[in-house]
Amino acid sequence: MHINELGQLNNVLQRPCTHYDERPEGEVSLLVIHNISLPAGQFATPYVDDLFMGAIDCTAHESFADLKGLRVSAHCFIRRTGEIIQYVPFEKRAWHAGISTFEGRERCNDFSVGIELEGTDTQAYTQAQYNALHLVTKALIAKYPEINRSRIVGHCDIAPGRKTDPGASFDWQYYFDLVF
């Protein structure tokens, strides 16, 4: 897997969304791992893609009412099958972290890459997801050498008390063993 000069992964589905902007300083030095499923706990639905593309029908499910007008994105989404969809080039700032702090620095979106795994805090992730995440991570480290083991975190680490993902079901040791 390779990242081109535009910040796009080769050989993955590109679904360019409009929910991003320029990085204020162009730096990429942090990887943030998230989880998402819409509706919560349901997989293989079209709704995560709809959310990131700004096209979610907030009447499609009762839990979607809070999503009305929400503009969020991730650089990539990894489905339970291992399929990788890229929404935002890594060179751009995706809107995934919200209010966040890492090592005393606020606004993690400015300098991070956000990868969403289709999942929940409590359900095990699939081997296909770990394999895909491993490949994406290796490509990110090759392109952005400031990303290292200590600069790969969960959403819970940069927004404690507000976010819990990727949750206890994410096997950090297994993931790090694959990558490093």
Residue 18 reports pLDDT greater than 90 = yes
| pLDDT tens sequence across 114-136 | 999 999 999 999 999 999 999 99
Helices (H), the chain: 47-52, 127-143, 155-158, 172-179
Nearest to 65 by CA among 77, 56, 53: 56
Tell me what the mean pLDDT of segment 61-68 comes to.
Answer: 94
Kindly tell me if the per-residue pLDDT of 7 is higher than 80.
yes
11-15, 25-29, 51-55, range with the lowest pLDDT: 25-29
pLDDT of residue 27: 87
Give the pLDDT mean for 10-32: 94
Which residue do the tokens 């809107």 mark?
95
With cut-offs at 50, 70 and 90, classify the pLDDT of residue 25: confident
**Per residue in 72-89, pLDDT tens?**
999 999 999 999 999 999
Residues in the chain, overall count: 180
Residue with tokens 């989880």: 35
The whole-number pLDDT of residue 21 equals 96
Distance between CA atoms of residues 45 and 168, nearest Å: 23
One-letter amino acid identity for 101?
Answer: T
Average pLDDT for the chain: 96
Residue 109 has a pLDDT of 97
Q: CB-hemisphere CA count at 13 Å for 107?
A: 6
Distance, CA of 9 to CA of 112 (rounded, Å) = 16
Q: Is 91 designated active site?
A: no
Catalytic option among 22, 116, 118, 146:
116
pLDDT at residue 26 tops 80: no
Average pLDDT over residues 6-21: 96
pTM: 0.97
